[in-house]
Structure 1
Amino acid sequence: MFALAPSALAAGYRLEALTSVGSTNALALERARQGAAGNLWVVAGEQTGGRGRRGRPWSTPPGNLAATLLVTEVSDAAIAATLGFVAGLALGDALAAVVPAAGVSVGLDGGAAGRDRFTLKWPNDVLADGAKLAGILLESGTLEGGRLALAVGIGVNVVSHPQDVPYPATSLAALGARVDAGELFLALSDAWVDNVRRWNGGRGLAAIRQRWLERAAGLGAEVSVRIDGRVARGIFETIDESCRFVIREDDGTRLKIAAGDVHFGAVATARP
Protein backbone atom coordinates (compact mmCIF):
# COMPACT_ATOMS: atom_id res chain seq x y z
CA MET A 1 0.00 0.00 0.00
CA PHE A 2 2.81 2.43 0.88
CA ALA A 3 5.87 3.18 -1.22
CA LEU A 4 8.52 5.90 -1.41
CA ALA A 5 8.72 8.24 -4.37
CA PRO A 6 11.72 7.74 -6.70
CA SER A 7 13.16 11.06 -5.52
CA ALA A 8 13.05 9.86 -1.89
CA LEU A 9 14.69 6.54 -2.78
CA ALA A 10 17.42 8.35 -4.70
CA ALA A 11 18.04 10.61 -1.68
CA GLY A 12 18.53 7.59 0.60
CA TYR A 13 15.23 7.54 2.47
CA ARG A 14 13.94 4.23 3.82
CA LEU A 15 10.47 2.96 4.65
CA GLU A 16 8.92 0.83 7.35
CA ALA A 17 5.25 0.34 6.45
CA LEU A 18 2.69 -1.25 8.76
CA THR A 19 -1.00 -2.00 8.58
CA SER A 20 -1.55 -0.85 12.15
CA VAL A 21 0.64 0.63 14.90
CA GLY A 22 0.21 2.18 18.33
CA SER A 23 2.09 5.38 17.43
CA THR A 24 4.32 6.02 14.44
CA ASN A 25 6.20 8.68 16.44
CA ALA A 26 6.86 6.28 19.32
CA LEU A 27 7.99 3.52 16.96
CA ALA A 28 10.30 5.87 15.05
CA LEU A 29 12.00 6.98 18.29
CA GLU A 30 12.25 3.35 19.38
CA ARG A 31 13.98 2.53 16.10
CA ALA A 32 16.43 5.37 16.76
CA ARG A 33 17.24 3.97 20.20
CA GLN A 34 17.82 0.60 18.53
CA GLY A 35 20.43 2.22 16.28
CA ALA A 36 18.46 3.15 13.17
CA ALA A 37 19.81 6.11 11.23
CA GLY A 38 17.64 9.04 10.20
CA ASN A 39 15.68 9.46 6.98
CA LEU A 40 13.45 6.55 7.98
CA TRP A 41 9.73 6.89 7.26
CA VAL A 42 7.44 4.90 9.58
CA VAL A 43 3.96 4.75 8.02
CA ALA A 44 0.69 3.07 8.90
CA GLY A 45 -2.88 3.02 7.67
CA GLU A 46 -4.18 2.80 11.24
CA GLN A 47 -2.84 4.24 14.49
CA THR A 48 -4.36 3.12 17.79
CA GLY A 49 -2.43 5.24 20.28
CA GLY A 50 -1.59 8.45 18.44
CA ARG A 51 -1.19 11.82 20.15
CA GLY A 52 -1.54 15.43 19.20
CA ARG A 53 -0.12 18.52 20.86
CA ARG A 54 -0.19 18.64 24.69
CA GLY A 55 -0.86 14.90 24.78
CA ARG A 56 -4.29 15.14 23.18
CA PRO A 57 -5.44 11.95 21.45
CA TRP A 58 -5.20 11.86 17.64
CA SER A 59 -7.34 9.14 16.10
CA THR A 60 -6.15 7.44 12.90
CA PRO A 61 -8.80 4.90 11.92
CA PRO A 62 -8.18 2.53 9.00
CA GLY A 63 -7.76 4.37 5.70
CA ASN A 64 -6.34 7.58 7.15
CA LEU A 65 -2.61 8.36 7.04
CA ALA A 66 -0.17 8.25 9.96
CA ALA A 67 3.40 8.96 8.86
CA THR A 68 6.52 9.81 10.83
CA LEU A 69 9.95 10.73 9.55
CA LEU A 70 12.87 9.96 11.85
CA VAL A 71 15.56 12.68 11.78
CA THR A 72 18.88 12.14 13.54
CA GLU A 73 21.33 14.46 11.79
CA VAL A 74 20.20 17.79 13.35
CA SER A 75 21.91 18.54 16.67
CA ASP A 76 20.38 21.94 17.51
CA ALA A 77 16.92 21.51 19.05
CA ALA A 78 15.75 25.01 18.03
CA ILE A 79 16.74 24.40 14.41
CA ALA A 80 15.16 20.94 14.48
CA ALA A 81 11.86 22.44 15.69
CA THR A 82 11.50 24.41 12.44
CA LEU A 83 11.11 21.13 10.57
CA GLY A 84 7.44 21.37 11.54
CA PHE A 85 7.11 24.20 9.01
CA VAL A 86 8.91 22.08 6.40
CA ALA A 87 6.40 19.32 7.11
CA GLY A 88 3.46 21.66 6.64
CA LEU A 89 4.77 22.86 3.29
CA ALA A 90 5.57 19.32 2.16
CA LEU A 91 2.08 18.15 3.02
CA GLY A 92 0.58 21.16 1.27
CA ASP A 93 2.57 20.38 -1.86
CA ALA A 94 1.54 16.73 -1.69
CA LEU A 95 -2.14 17.67 -1.42
CA ALA A 96 -1.80 20.04 -4.37
CA ALA A 97 -0.23 17.20 -6.36
CA VAL A 98 -2.83 14.50 -5.71
CA VAL A 99 -6.11 16.22 -4.92
CA PRO A 100 -6.60 18.08 -8.24
CA ALA A 101 -6.04 14.77 -10.02
CA ALA A 102 -8.81 13.37 -7.87
CA GLY A 103 -11.26 15.88 -9.28
CA VAL A 104 -11.32 18.64 -6.65
CA SER A 105 -10.32 22.08 -7.87
CA VAL A 106 -7.64 23.35 -5.48
CA GLY A 107 -4.21 24.87 -5.78
CA LEU A 108 -1.98 26.24 -3.06
CA ASP A 109 -0.09 28.41 -5.53
CA GLY A 110 -3.14 29.40 -7.56
CA GLY A 111 -5.85 32.00 -7.07
CA ALA A 112 -7.68 33.02 -3.95
CA ALA A 113 -10.00 30.01 -4.04
CA GLY A 114 -7.06 27.63 -4.05
CA ARG A 115 -5.27 29.45 -1.26
CA ASP A 116 -8.43 29.42 0.83
CA ARG A 117 -8.99 25.68 0.32
CA PHE A 118 -5.76 24.39 1.89
CA THR A 119 -4.01 26.65 4.38
CA LEU A 120 -1.38 26.26 7.09
CA LYS A 121 -2.37 27.11 10.66
CA TRP A 122 0.44 28.01 13.05
CA PRO A 123 2.16 26.03 14.30
CA ASN A 124 1.15 22.57 13.18
CA ASP A 125 -2.18 22.15 11.37
CA VAL A 126 -3.30 21.97 7.76
CA LEU A 127 -6.81 23.28 7.15
CA ALA A 128 -9.21 22.69 4.28
CA ASP A 129 -11.98 25.26 3.89
CA GLY A 130 -11.11 26.36 7.44
CA ALA A 131 -11.55 22.89 8.98
CA LYS A 132 -8.74 20.75 10.34
CA LEU A 133 -7.57 18.20 7.80
CA ALA A 134 -4.16 17.26 9.21
CA GLY A 135 -1.94 17.69 12.23
CA ILE A 136 1.82 17.68 12.66
CA LEU A 137 3.56 16.71 15.89
CA LEU A 138 7.31 16.84 16.56
CA GLU A 139 8.66 14.71 19.41
CA SER A 140 12.29 14.26 20.38
CA GLY A 141 14.43 11.83 22.29
CA THR A 142 18.03 11.70 23.45
CA LEU A 143 20.27 8.96 22.11
CA GLU A 144 23.56 7.58 23.37
CA GLY A 145 26.19 10.28 23.51
CA GLY A 146 23.56 13.01 23.87
CA ARG A 147 22.56 12.95 20.20
CA LEU A 148 19.10 14.20 19.24
CA ALA A 149 16.47 12.02 17.59
CA LEU A 150 13.44 13.82 16.18
CA ALA A 151 10.15 12.26 15.09
CA VAL A 152 8.25 14.43 12.58
CA GLY A 153 4.73 13.03 12.79
CA ILE A 154 2.06 13.81 10.18
CA GLY A 155 -1.54 12.63 10.52
CA VAL A 156 -4.07 13.21 7.73
CA ASN A 157 -7.82 12.60 7.67
CA VAL A 158 -8.07 10.81 4.34
CA VAL A 159 -11.29 8.78 4.48
CA SER A 160 -12.82 9.97 7.77
CA HIS A 161 -12.56 12.70 10.37
CA PRO A 162 -13.48 12.97 14.07
CA GLN A 163 -16.96 14.22 14.94
CA ASP A 164 -16.58 14.74 18.70
CA VAL A 165 -14.02 17.57 18.68
CA PRO A 166 -14.45 21.22 19.73
CA TYR A 167 -13.30 22.56 16.35
CA PRO A 168 -14.38 22.00 12.72
CA ALA A 169 -12.71 18.96 11.13
CA THR A 170 -12.85 17.41 7.68
CA SER A 171 -11.34 14.68 5.51
CA LEU A 172 -10.32 14.35 1.89
CA ALA A 173 -13.30 12.06 1.34
CA ALA A 174 -15.64 14.70 2.77
CA LEU A 175 -14.15 17.18 0.30
CA GLY A 176 -14.97 14.81 -2.55
CA ALA A 177 -11.39 13.75 -3.23
CA ARG A 178 -10.94 10.17 -4.39
CA VAL A 179 -7.44 9.59 -3.10
CA ASP A 180 -6.10 6.96 -0.72
CA ALA A 181 -3.43 7.12 1.97
CA GLY A 182 -0.88 5.37 -0.23
CA GLU A 183 -1.19 7.92 -3.03
CA LEU A 184 -0.92 10.79 -0.57
CA PHE A 185 2.14 9.33 1.15
CA LEU A 186 3.91 8.77 -2.18
CA ALA A 187 3.45 12.46 -2.98
CA LEU A 188 4.43 13.46 0.57
CA SER A 189 7.71 11.55 0.43
CA ASP A 190 8.52 13.35 -2.83
CA ALA A 191 7.51 16.80 -1.56
CA TRP A 192 9.52 16.35 1.64
CA VAL A 193 12.74 15.88 -0.34
CA ASP A 194 12.15 19.13 -2.21
CA ASN A 195 11.26 21.19 0.87
CA VAL A 196 13.98 19.84 3.16
CA ARG A 197 16.52 20.76 0.48
CA ARG A 198 15.18 24.31 0.58
CA TRP A 199 15.46 24.25 4.38
CA ASN A 200 19.11 23.11 4.02
CA GLY A 201 19.82 22.26 7.63
CA GLY A 202 18.15 25.49 8.76
CA ARG A 203 20.25 27.70 6.49
CA GLY A 204 17.29 28.14 4.16
CA LEU A 205 14.78 28.91 6.91
CA ALA A 206 14.08 32.40 5.52
CA ALA A 207 12.81 30.88 2.26
CA ILE A 208 10.73 28.32 4.19
CA ARG A 209 9.26 31.10 6.33
CA GLN A 210 8.29 33.18 3.29
CA ARG A 211 6.73 30.21 1.53
CA TRP A 212 4.82 29.29 4.70
CA LEU A 213 3.46 32.84 5.08
CA GLU A 214 2.08 32.69 1.53
CA ARG A 215 -0.15 29.84 2.68
CA ALA A 216 -0.86 30.99 6.25
CA ALA A 217 -4.39 30.74 7.64
CA GLY A 218 -5.73 33.91 9.23
CA LEU A 219 -2.90 36.25 8.21
CA GLY A 220 -4.06 39.83 8.80
CA ALA A 221 -7.17 38.69 10.68
CA GLU A 222 -8.23 38.75 14.33
CA VAL A 223 -6.83 35.89 16.40
CA SER A 224 -6.67 34.85 20.01
CA VAL A 225 -3.85 32.85 21.58
CA ARG A 226 -3.99 31.20 24.98
CA ILE A 227 -0.59 31.66 26.65
CA ASP A 228 0.66 31.72 30.23
CA GLY A 229 -2.81 31.51 31.74
CA ARG A 230 -4.27 34.38 29.74
CA VAL A 231 -5.80 34.96 26.31
CA ALA A 232 -4.01 37.44 24.05
CA ARG A 233 -6.07 38.96 21.24
CA GLY A 234 -5.03 40.97 18.25
CA ILE A 235 -4.15 40.86 14.55
CA PHE A 236 -1.99 38.05 13.19
CA GLU A 237 0.82 40.04 11.55
CA THR A 238 3.48 37.47 10.62
CA ILE A 239 5.80 34.79 11.90
CA ASP A 240 9.25 36.11 12.75
CA GLU A 241 12.69 34.84 11.73
CA SER A 242 12.48 32.13 14.41
CA CYS A 243 8.94 31.17 13.25
CA ARG A 244 7.32 32.61 16.37
CA PHE A 245 3.70 33.76 16.01
CA VAL A 246 3.49 37.58 16.01
CA ILE A 247 0.27 39.42 16.84
CA ARG A 248 -0.42 43.13 17.31
CA GLU A 249 -2.61 43.61 20.38
CA ASP A 250 -5.29 46.28 20.69
CA ASP A 251 -2.87 48.68 22.38
CA GLY A 252 -0.34 48.33 19.57
CA THR A 253 1.99 45.96 21.42
CA ARG A 254 3.60 43.35 19.19
CA LEU A 255 3.60 40.00 20.96
CA LYS A 256 5.88 37.15 19.85
CA ILE A 257 4.63 33.72 20.85
CA ALA A 258 6.71 30.53 20.79
CA ALA A 259 3.88 28.15 21.79
CA GLY A 260 0.15 28.47 22.29
CA ASP A 261 -3.32 27.54 21.05
CA VAL A 262 -4.46 29.81 18.22
CA HIS A 263 -8.12 30.54 17.43
CA PHE A 264 -9.64 32.51 14.54
CA GLY A 265 -13.02 34.02 13.77
CA ALA A 266 -15.81 34.28 16.31
CA VAL A 267 -13.78 32.48 18.96
CA ALA A 268 -10.98 35.00 18.56
CA THR A 269 -13.20 38.06 18.78
CA ALA A 270 -15.39 36.90 21.67
CA ARG A 271 -14.86 38.89 24.84
CA PRO A 272 -15.59 37.61 28.35
Structure 2
Amino acid sequence: MPFALGPRATSAGYRLFAFDKAGSTNAEAMSRARDGERGPAWFVTSEQTAGRGRRQRAWIAPRGNLASSVLEIIDVSPSVAATLGFAAGLSLESALQKLSIEANLRLAGSDRLKYSLKWPNDVLAGQKKLSGILLEAEAVPGDRLAVVVGIGTNVVGAPEGTPTPATSLSALGVHVGAEELFSALSDAWVEFRGIWDNGRGFSEIRKLWLERAAGLGERVAINTGTMSIEGTFDTIDETGCLIVRTAEGKRMPIAAGEVYFGAAASVGAA
Protein backbone atom coordinates (compact mmCIF):
# COMPACT_ATOMS: atom_id res chain seq x y z
CA MET A 1 0.00 0.00 0.00
CA PRO A 2 1.58 3.33 -1.04
CA PHE A 3 1.47 6.45 1.08
CA ALA A 4 -1.51 8.67 0.29
CA LEU A 5 -3.07 11.77 1.81
CA GLY A 6 -6.43 11.45 3.49
CA PRO A 7 -9.43 12.96 1.70
CA ARG A 8 -9.55 16.06 3.94
CA ALA A 9 -5.87 16.76 3.40
CA THR A 10 -6.27 16.39 -0.36
CA SER A 11 -9.27 18.75 -0.38
CA ALA A 12 -7.33 21.27 1.73
CA GLY A 13 -4.63 21.49 -0.94
CA TYR A 14 -1.80 19.58 0.71
CA ARG A 15 0.74 17.84 -1.50
CA LEU A 16 2.70 14.70 -0.76
CA PHE A 17 6.36 13.82 -1.25
CA ALA A 18 6.82 10.15 -0.34
CA PHE A 19 10.20 8.38 -0.18
CA ASP A 20 11.09 4.71 -0.04
CA LYS A 21 13.89 5.74 2.32
CA ALA A 22 15.07 9.13 3.56
CA GLY A 23 17.77 10.52 5.80
CA SER A 24 15.44 12.95 7.54
CA THR A 25 11.99 14.07 6.45
CA ASN A 26 12.49 17.31 8.41
CA ALA A 27 15.72 18.03 6.56
CA GLU A 28 14.08 17.22 3.23
CA ALA A 29 11.17 19.54 3.94
CA MET A 30 13.38 22.44 5.04
CA SER A 31 15.69 21.97 2.06
CA ARG A 32 12.71 22.22 -0.27
CA ALA A 33 11.53 25.36 1.55
CA ARG A 34 14.94 26.96 1.03
CA ASP A 35 14.63 26.13 -2.67
CA GLY A 36 11.25 27.84 -2.94
CA GLU A 37 8.72 25.18 -1.97
CA ARG A 38 5.79 26.95 -0.32
CA GLY A 39 3.58 24.02 0.60
CA PRO A 40 1.56 23.09 2.38
CA ALA A 41 3.15 19.70 1.88
CA TRP A 42 3.91 16.45 3.65
CA PHE A 43 7.21 14.58 3.42
CA VAL A 44 6.97 10.96 4.49
CA THR A 45 8.82 7.65 4.59
CA SER A 46 8.63 4.31 6.38
CA GLU A 47 12.43 4.14 6.78
CA GLN A 48 14.43 7.10 8.12
CA THR A 49 18.18 6.78 8.54
CA ALA A 50 19.35 10.14 9.91
CA GLY A 51 16.44 11.65 11.79
CA ARG A 52 16.82 13.88 14.82
CA GLY A 53 14.80 14.35 17.97
CA ARG A 54 15.05 17.07 20.58
CA ARG A 55 18.52 18.05 21.82
CA GLN A 56 19.97 16.57 18.60
CA ARG A 57 19.24 12.99 19.68
CA ALA A 58 19.17 10.48 16.84
CA TRP A 59 15.68 9.40 15.79
CA ILE A 60 16.04 6.39 13.50
CA ALA A 61 12.92 4.89 11.98
CA PRO A 62 13.45 1.26 10.95
CA ARG A 63 11.43 0.16 7.94
CA GLY A 64 7.78 0.00 8.90
CA ASN A 65 7.81 2.93 11.32
CA LEU A 66 6.40 6.31 10.27
CA ALA A 67 8.60 9.36 9.76
CA SER A 68 6.52 12.31 8.57
CA SER A 69 7.03 16.06 8.33
CA VAL A 70 4.61 18.77 7.29
CA LEU A 71 5.79 22.07 5.82
CA GLU A 72 3.75 25.20 6.42
CA ILE A 73 4.76 28.70 5.26
CA ILE A 74 3.11 31.13 7.66
CA ASP A 75 3.17 34.76 8.71
CA VAL A 76 3.72 34.43 12.46
CA SER A 77 6.54 35.02 14.93
CA PRO A 78 8.78 32.11 15.98
CA SER A 79 7.23 32.11 19.47
CA VAL A 80 3.74 31.70 18.02
CA ALA A 81 4.95 29.07 15.56
CA ALA A 82 6.27 27.03 18.50
CA THR A 83 2.72 26.49 19.76
CA LEU A 84 1.91 24.57 16.57
CA GLY A 85 3.55 21.58 18.23
CA PHE A 86 0.54 21.24 20.53
CA ALA A 87 -1.74 21.00 17.49
CA ALA A 88 0.58 18.30 16.13
CA GLY A 89 0.25 16.26 19.33
CA LEU A 90 -3.53 16.54 19.17
CA SER A 91 -3.51 15.50 15.51
CA LEU A 92 -1.54 12.34 16.15
CA GLU A 93 -3.51 11.45 19.28
CA SER A 94 -6.75 11.82 17.30
CA ALA A 95 -5.46 9.64 14.46
CA LEU A 96 -4.24 6.99 16.91
CA GLN A 97 -7.56 6.92 18.75
CA LYS A 98 -9.42 6.44 15.47
CA LEU A 99 -7.21 3.62 14.29
CA SER A 100 -7.06 1.95 17.71
CA ILE A 101 -10.83 1.92 17.97
CA GLU A 102 -11.04 0.30 14.55
CA ALA A 103 -8.28 -2.20 15.43
CA ASN A 104 -9.90 -3.06 18.75
CA LEU A 105 -13.18 -3.74 17.00
CA ARG A 106 -11.26 -6.43 15.13
CA LEU A 107 -9.84 -7.80 18.39
CA ALA A 108 -12.73 -9.23 20.37
CA GLY A 109 -12.62 -8.39 24.07
CA SER A 110 -9.69 -5.98 23.72
CA ASP A 111 -9.66 -2.93 25.95
CA ARG A 112 -9.45 0.43 24.22
CA LEU A 113 -5.97 1.90 24.37
CA LYS A 114 -5.44 5.21 26.10
CA TYR A 115 -3.09 7.78 24.67
CA SER A 116 -1.91 10.97 26.35
CA LEU A 117 0.21 14.00 25.52
CA LYS A 118 3.42 14.64 27.40
CA TRP A 119 4.79 18.17 27.48
CA PRO A 120 6.27 19.44 25.34
CA ASN A 121 6.16 17.08 22.38
CA ASP A 122 5.60 13.38 23.07
CA VAL A 123 2.62 11.09 22.62
CA LEU A 124 2.41 8.31 25.20
CA ALA A 125 0.63 4.99 25.30
CA GLY A 126 0.25 4.27 28.98
CA GLN A 127 3.56 5.44 30.46
CA LYS A 128 5.63 4.69 27.35
CA LYS A 129 6.65 6.95 24.50
CA LEU A 130 5.01 6.14 21.18
CA SER A 131 5.88 9.25 19.21
CA GLY A 132 8.05 12.36 19.26
CA ILE A 133 7.49 15.72 17.61
CA LEU A 134 10.16 18.17 16.48
CA LEU A 135 9.51 21.71 15.20
CA GLU A 136 12.02 23.66 13.15
CA ALA A 137 11.58 27.11 11.60
CA GLU A 138 13.51 29.40 9.25
CA ALA A 139 12.74 32.78 7.73
CA VAL A 140 11.91 32.77 4.01
CA PRO A 141 11.45 35.63 1.52
CA GLY A 142 8.38 37.76 2.07
CA ASP A 143 8.93 38.07 5.83
CA ARG A 144 7.33 34.69 6.38
CA LEU A 145 8.37 31.63 8.32
CA ALA A 146 8.94 28.13 6.99
CA VAL A 147 7.79 25.83 9.77
CA VAL A 148 8.48 22.11 9.57
CA VAL A 149 6.71 19.85 12.05
CA GLY A 150 8.27 16.41 12.22
CA ILE A 151 6.24 13.57 13.69
CA GLY A 152 7.96 10.23 14.21
CA THR A 153 5.83 7.29 15.34
CA ASN A 154 6.86 3.80 16.44
CA VAL A 155 4.65 1.55 14.35
CA VAL A 156 6.53 -1.77 14.22
CA GLY A 157 9.48 -1.17 16.55
CA ALA A 158 10.69 1.09 19.36
CA PRO A 159 14.18 2.21 20.41
CA GLU A 160 15.73 1.07 23.67
CA GLY A 161 17.54 3.14 26.27
CA THR A 162 15.46 6.29 25.77
CA PRO A 163 14.92 8.73 28.71
CA THR A 164 11.24 7.75 28.65
CA PRO A 165 10.72 4.02 27.93
CA ALA A 166 9.33 3.55 24.42
CA THR A 167 6.80 1.23 22.81
CA SER A 168 5.28 0.59 19.39
CA LEU A 169 1.79 0.11 18.02
CA SER A 170 2.69 -3.46 17.12
CA ALA A 171 3.74 -4.20 20.70
CA LEU A 172 0.43 -2.76 21.87
CA GLY A 173 -1.54 -5.06 19.60
CA VAL A 174 -2.56 -2.35 17.14
CA HIS A 175 -1.56 -3.84 13.81
CA VAL A 176 -1.82 -1.00 11.34
CA GLY A 177 0.65 0.09 8.72
CA ALA A 178 2.59 3.34 8.55
CA GLU A 179 0.62 4.18 5.41
CA GLU A 180 -2.73 3.78 7.15
CA LEU A 181 -1.60 5.86 10.10
CA PHE A 182 -0.26 8.61 7.85
CA SER A 183 -3.55 8.94 5.96
CA ALA A 184 -5.44 9.39 9.24
CA LEU A 185 -2.78 11.79 10.56
CA SER A 186 -2.88 14.01 7.47
CA ASP A 187 -6.65 14.41 7.85
CA ALA A 188 -6.46 15.08 11.59
CA TRP A 189 -3.77 17.72 10.92
CA VAL A 190 -6.21 19.66 8.74
CA GLU A 191 -8.65 19.78 11.66
CA PHE A 192 -6.27 20.89 14.38
CA ARG A 193 -4.17 23.14 12.13
CA GLY A 194 -7.46 24.88 11.34
CA ILE A 195 -8.35 25.28 15.02
CA TRP A 196 -4.86 26.66 15.73
CA ASP A 197 -5.42 29.24 12.97
CA ASN A 198 -1.93 30.79 12.91
CA GLY A 199 -1.97 31.03 16.70
CA ARG A 200 -5.31 32.80 16.97
CA GLY A 201 -6.95 29.60 18.18
CA PHE A 202 -4.28 28.50 20.63
CA SER A 203 -6.62 29.00 23.59
CA GLU A 204 -8.84 26.20 22.21
CA ILE A 205 -5.81 24.05 21.34
CA ARG A 206 -4.53 24.57 24.88
CA LYS A 207 -7.88 23.47 26.33
CA LEU A 208 -8.00 20.34 24.19
CA TRP A 209 -4.36 19.54 24.95
CA LEU A 210 -4.83 19.84 28.71
CA GLU A 211 -7.77 17.40 28.52
CA ARG A 212 -5.28 14.82 27.23
CA ALA A 213 -2.22 15.87 29.24
CA ALA A 214 -0.08 13.24 30.95
CA GLY A 215 0.75 13.96 34.58
CA LEU A 216 -1.50 16.97 35.06
CA GLY A 217 -1.80 17.66 38.79
CA GLU A 218 0.96 15.15 39.57
CA ARG A 219 4.41 15.46 41.03
CA VAL A 220 6.86 16.55 38.35
CA ALA A 221 10.58 17.23 37.98
CA ILE A 222 12.06 19.14 35.06
CA ASN A 223 15.72 19.03 34.14
CA THR A 224 16.46 22.13 32.07
CA GLY A 225 20.07 21.22 31.46
CA THR A 226 21.32 23.81 33.93
CA MET A 227 19.00 23.16 36.88
CA SER A 228 16.28 20.86 38.21
CA ILE A 229 12.86 22.11 39.31
CA GLU A 230 10.40 20.02 41.32
CA GLY A 231 6.77 20.57 42.15
CA THR A 232 3.30 19.88 40.74
CA PHE A 233 2.35 20.08 37.07
CA ASP A 234 -0.21 22.88 37.32
CA THR A 235 -1.06 23.74 33.68
CA ILE A 236 0.42 25.17 30.50
CA ASP A 237 0.11 28.91 29.96
CA GLU A 238 -1.01 30.94 26.95
CA THR A 239 2.46 30.65 25.39
CA GLY A 240 2.78 26.89 25.88
CA CYS A 241 5.14 27.01 28.87
CA LEU A 242 4.69 24.32 31.50
CA ILE A 243 3.70 25.83 34.85
CA VAL A 244 5.13 24.12 37.92
CA ARG A 245 3.77 24.91 41.37
CA THR A 246 6.59 24.49 43.87
CA ALA A 247 6.24 23.30 47.47
CA GLU A 248 6.35 26.97 48.50
CA GLY A 249 3.38 27.74 46.25
CA LYS A 250 5.36 29.62 43.62
CA ARG A 251 4.22 29.13 40.00
CA MET A 252 7.23 28.77 37.72
CA PRO A 253 7.01 28.81 33.89
CA ILE A 254 9.28 26.33 32.11
CA ALA A 255 10.04 26.89 28.42
CA ALA A 256 12.08 23.73 27.78
CA GLY A 257 13.41 20.68 29.60
CA GLU A 258 13.16 16.96 30.24
CA VAL A 259 10.02 16.11 32.20
CA TYR A 260 9.62 13.25 34.71
CA PHE A 261 6.41 12.33 36.50
CA GLY A 262 5.54 10.42 39.64
CA ALA A 263 8.20 8.05 40.92
CA ALA A 264 10.42 8.90 37.96
CA ALA A 265 10.50 12.51 39.15
CA SER A 266 13.00 11.57 41.86
CA VAL A 267 15.33 10.12 39.23
CA GLY A 268 14.86 13.07 36.88
CA ALA A 269 15.64 15.56 39.59
CA ALA A 270 18.88 13.80 40.51
The TM tier, using the shorter chain, reads over 0.9
| Residue in 2 that maps onto 1:69 | 70
How does 1:140-219 map onto structure 2 within 5 Å?
Answer: 140-144=137-141, 146-219=143-216
* TM norm structure 1: 0.93
Structure 1: how far apart are the matches of 2:140 and 2:38?
11
| Residue in 1 that maps onto 2:82 | 81
State the one-letter code of the partner of 1:66: A
> Over residues 246-266 of structure 1, what are the superposed CA-to-partner deviations in whole Å (9 max), with x where a residue is unaligned?
010111111111111111122
| Residue in 2 that maps onto 1:257 | 254
1:147 Cα offset (Å): 3.2
Tell me the percent identity: 52
Structure 1: how far apart are the matches of 2:137 and 2:87?
16
| Residue in 2 that maps onto 1:41 | 42
Q: SS of the residue aligned with 1:30? A: helix
State the one-letter code of the partner of 1:10: S
State the one-letter code of the partner of 1:118: Y
Give the CA RMSD over aligned residues.
Answer: 1.6
> Over residues 106-143 of structure 1, what are the superposed CA-to-partner deviations in whole Å (9 max), with x where a residue is unaligned?
xxxxxxx86x8200000000000110000000011232
1:218 Cα offset (Å): 0.2
| Residue in 2 that maps onto 1:10 | 11
Structure 1: how far apart are the matches of 2:58 and 2:245?
32
Structure 1 residues 195-204 or 154-163, which shifts more?
Answer: 195-204
State the one-letter code of the partner of 2:189: W
Q: SS of the residue aligned with 1:196? A: helix
Distance 1:54 1:174, change over 3 A: same
State the one-letter code of the partner of 1:75: V
| Residue in 2 that maps onto 1:30 | 31
2:17 is the counterpart of 1:20? no
Distance 1:197 1:144, change over 3 A: closer
1:104 Cα offset (Å): 7.1
State the one-letter code of the partner of 1:180: G
Q: Does the CA contact (< 8 Å) of 2:74 and 2:147 recur in 1?
A: no
Structure 1 residues 191-200 or 164-173, which shifts more?
Answer: 164-173
Structure 1: how far apart are the matches of 2:147 and 2:45?
18
Structure 1 residues 170-179 or 73-82, which shifts more?
Answer: 73-82
Structure 2: how far apart are the matches of 1:40 and 1:141?
16
Structure 2: how far apart are the matches of 1:123 and 1:59?
20
2:236 is the counterpart of 1:239? yes
Structure 2: how far apart are the matches of 1:254 and 1:164?
32
State the one-letter code of the partner of 1:239: I
Q: SS of the residue aligned with 2:74? A: coil
Structure 1: how far apart are the matches of 2:137 and 2:194?
21
2:79 is the counterpart of 1:93? no
* TM norm structure 2: 0.94
Q: Does the CA contact (< 8 Å) of 1:74 and 1:80 recur in 2?
A: no
Q: Does the CA contact (< 8 Å) of 2:9 and 2:186 recur in 1?
A: yes
| Residue in 1 that maps onto 2:135 | 138
Q: Does the CA contact (< 8 Å) of 2:76 and 2:198 recur in 1?
A: no
> Over residues 155-214 of structure 1, what are the superposed CA-to-partner deviations in whole Å (9 max), with x where a residue is unaligned?
000000012324311000000011010000000000000111111111111000000000
Count of matched residue positions in the alignment of Structure 1 and Structure 2: 264
State the one-letter code of the partner of 1:263: Y
Q: SS of the residue aligned with 1:170? A: coil
